[in-house]
Structure 1
Amino acid sequence: MSIKSESIATQLFLAMDEAIEKKDRKAFMKAMKDGRLHNCVVGNEQYEKYLLSLYKRALNRFIDSED
């Protein structure tokens, strides 16, 4: 993976993580829908696992916030 791809993935992961902490669904979806994310994550098992953990945290956070 190139340094540029790592940088993009890190930037998007941080944006998603921050959105989860702030319970900001729109910001999370914006980062998640960024077309570059898929290209940066596919083929990198560590990034795939981290992205999956972000999705799980987001589900828990956003579902719990609906109460």
Structure 2
Amino acid sequence: MLFLTEGSGTWFADIGKFDFKAPVLPFATPLQHLAITREQPLKGYAIRFHGDFYCIEYHKVEVACNW
């Protein structure tokens, strides 16, 4: 997850294209193909979560993440 506090541009996630203007919270998943083009300088924060945060690591079957 990114918390972009300043700037604007385009967020590409897999085959999706999303124009954005801060403030914005774009999310991504592991192994997703990502790219950002910017029209203005960007400022913000990157926040990463481990699977345990969502209780996924030990409960994959219950949350349909059993791959």
Both proteins in one fold, TM over 0.5: no
**Which structure has the highest strand share of the two?**
2
Q: Shorter-normalised TM-score: what interval?
A: under 0.3
Structure number with bigger Rg? 2
Instruction: Normalising by structure 2, report the TM-score.
Output: 0.28
Instruction: Normalising by structure 1, report the TM-score.
Output: 0.28
**Which structure has the highest helix share of the two?**
1
